[in-house]
Structure 1
Amino acid sequence: MKRIVLLLALCSFSLGMAQSNLNDLLAAGLNDAERFTTAWLAPVTEAGVYSISNGWYNSADAKPLGGFEISIIGNITGFKNKGDKKAFTLNTADYENLTFTDGSTSKEVATALGDIEGVDVAVNATIEGQQVSTVFELPSGLSSEDLNFVPSGYIQASVGLIKGTEVKARFLPKIKTDDVSIGLIGFGVQHDFTKHLPADKLLPVAISAVIGYTKLSGEYDFTSTDVINGENQRIDAQFSSWNFSAVVSTRLPVINFYGGLNYITGKADTDILGRYEIETTVGAPIVYNDPFAIGNNISGVSGNIGTKLKLGFFRLNADYNIAEFSTFTFGVNFGFR
């Protein structure tokens, strides 16, 4: 169960690791550990950036001066049918010290989204002038626990200004547990071009542009896992995204429909920090301090369609976003005007 919680933390940016034996890769040396970890994390960080980029709008009709809306927004980003994101080919020729225990030279292994288990690798090499000999299992991912989605959520507030402009802010208050700390902030602006037309109030639709920026910061301390000796072992991650959208919606009293075309660009930076002591066959351990950092740039186009129900101060909305990682977004909203 702890493996599920930790990987969901990274996926939805509570931040963490799926399986503690990811640390074992450091026994193969820094280059091999960084190469594997980069490939293993890439799909989940991509899914995460797409997930936190959603939910910036539920209408193209910007709020009037003084109008406001407070929302609780959740995103579920699925990858059930993303076979190409659940595995990658590990070719031992690309690694300095890593070999498969069964003698294979190339094999499909799981990413952080995958479900391939029981893949054992060995290290028998001289690293940093010391002999290292060990065998361990490569980490699997979310699908091995029958989980096929990446969640995210936050609180969002919108306030109408003059001339069809609406400003937005989103946040997830800083959450801390014994192992994990996580927080999210974001800001955005929406401009309704139809507000400039003489017949604005008579038009059945509204057309807007929306720009939104989201940043999630998290840290996971896994020193207590005792997989590799050391201290202050942790992952520090920063996920950020920009969403540029063109939005159209109906302007009806109760039920409305909206859709948008979006360009998303973002980055995920993950730092492996702390002190790591790799046991050797003879002599002192190999020591790594703050071993490496990984960066992953993500960009793509998406399109969504949704509906919003307005009942006085209470509103509900839901939409489906089609992208490299498609997302279902739902919101519970409380607003005025």
Structure 2
Amino acid sequence: MFTAIKKHITLWCTLTAVLITTSTSLHAQVNNIGAFLRAGAEDATILTKAYLKPFPTGFGTGLNAGWNESATAKNTLGFSLQIRPSVALVPGSAQKFDISELDLNKIVVADGEDPVTPTIAGNDKQGPLLEIYENRNNQNRKLGEFNMPAGSGVSAIPAPIVQASIGLLKGTSLAVRFFPQTEIGDYGSFGVLGGAVKHNLNQWLPGGDFWPVDVSVMAGFNRIDIDGDLTLDPEGIRNPNDPSLVENPNPDFDDQQLTTTTNAFVFNALVGKSLPFISVYGGVGYQKASFDLEISGDYPVNTDVAGQTFYNVLTDPVSFGIDSESNVHMLGGFSLNLGLFAFYGEVTLADYFTANAGVGISFR
């Protein structure tokens, strides 16, 4: 038995590594936004928010799935260890956006280019050529140009989930998700922290112990931090009239960082039935996610001086948050218990359809 458990845990570790790599690979697409800073902090913020708009909803919906094994809490000191990846499907309307509809100050879409460009969840096809001017309404001074980055080519946003659950007293159980902040290849670092509490309601309802179904409520929270490096090298020489020249005479372009934090919260009311080998459940709930992004470090931004291109330096130029669009949802799922091992499945019906499935060790 212990050999089988050891092999099972080894499989979990392998699958977890694959899932994290997949998730961070998607997130690594964010590194392409360094080019946005060529137009300055304000336009870079507008473009970045539009490009990343599907991420908090898709990633947050995925993180909010998979907390449940049944509609009842685990028995006292019951335990399970699970790997339950989720995939949220991004609708077509969120896979692209129109740059011409953004309130940009220095950027225009080049003549002959299609202004519709992929979001991070869109096609793996390079976006239109954008031109940067000192003032988009006065296009006599062109400062540079760049192409919008391609989408990831993945319209399904994955969320890797590994969790442990334990039964407490009074029909209450606790689930925990944790992965320490870890460097993942060239993608940057990745860390997870989360927890959920479930409580049975039958014990508090009139005749509830004799009801043919189990009724419970649960609340969960996730936090995922993903960091990565950016690369935006200077072109030409520094502007001698750069406003930041005195306070930052020696900028460090090797320490450019992108830091993101995703927080996801979910509340579900569940009803279901547990039989000896299978449990089924359904419910309704409310979920919310927020995505915070910060670009820190020194960045060169082209500027025109007497017909020549120099660069100014921006420090810590971008910081913003995006809230998810998904709120009320319905869900349904099951767990199949075969001795020590269990199999899980769950779907969530919301703005972004989400499927969650996995395997685990479970008892009581």
TM-score band, normalised by shorter chain:
0.7 to 0.9
Distance (Å, rounded) in 2 between the aligned partners of 1:99 and 1:211: 45
Gapped regions of structure 2 (runs ≥ 5)? 1-18, 236-251
In the TM superposition, residue 179 of structure 1 has moved relative to its aligned partner by 4.2
Residue of 63, 71, 83 corresponding to 1:60: 71
In the TM superposition, residue 283 of structure 1 has moved relative to its aligned partner by 6.3
**325 and 9 in structure 1: CA distance in 2 versus 1, 3 angstrom threshold:** same
Secondary structure of 1:49's counterpart equals helix
Contact 2:229 2:258 in 1 (8 A): yes
Residue of 150, 154, 177 corresponding to 2:157: 150
In the TM superposition, residue 222 of structure 1 has moved relative to its aligned partner by 2.5
Structure 2 counterparts to residues 235-254 of structure 1, below 5 A: 235-254=258-277
Residue of 304, 308, 319 corresponding to 1:293: 319
Aligned match of 1:32: 43
- Per-residue CA deviation, residues 310-337 of structure 1 (Å, 9 max, x unaligned), is 1111110111111111111012121221
Contact 1:70 1:156 in 2 (8 A): yes
Q: Does 1:263 align with 2:270?
A: no
Gapped regions of structure 1 (runs ≥ 5)? 1-7
Residue of 127, 146, 150 corresponding to 1:140: 150
Contact 2:106 2:132 in 1 (8 A): yes
In the TM superposition, residue 184 of structure 1 has moved relative to its aligned partner by 0.5
Q: Does 1:124 align with 2:104?
A: no
Amino acid at match of 1:100: V
Distance (Å, rounded) in 1 between the aligned partners of 2:289 and 2:97: 22
- Per-residue CA deviation, residues 106-157 of structure 1 (Å, 9 max, x unaligned), is 8322211112534111113269xxx6621211112123xxx22111112211
Give the structure-1-normalised TM-score: 0.86
Secondary structure of 1:91's counterpart equals helix
Aligned residues: 320
Worse overlay, 297-306 or 194-203? 194-203
Aligned match of 2:247: none
Give the structure-2-normalised TM-score: 0.80
Worse overlay, 48-57 or 225-234? 225-234
Worse overlay, 208-217 or 112-121? 112-121
In the TM superposition, residue 13 of structure 1 has moved relative to its aligned partner by 5.5
Which 4+ stretches in 1 moved above 6 angstroms?
A: 8-11, 197-201
As a proportion of its length, which structure holds more strand?
1
In the TM superposition, residue 56 of structure 1 has moved relative to its aligned partner by 1.1
Structure 2 counterparts to residues 310-325 of structure 1, below 5 A: 310-325=337-352
Amino acid at match of 2:150: S
Q: Does 1:49 align with 2:55?
A: no
Give the superposed CA RMSD.
Answer: 2.7
**93 and 329 in structure 1: CA distance in 2 versus 1, 3 angstrom threshold:** closer
Amino acid at match of 2:109: F
Distance (Å, rounded) in 2 between the aligned partners of 1:69 and 1:216: 22
Secondary structure of 1:44's counterpart equals helix
In the TM superposition, residue 279 of structure 1 has moved relative to its aligned partner by 4.0
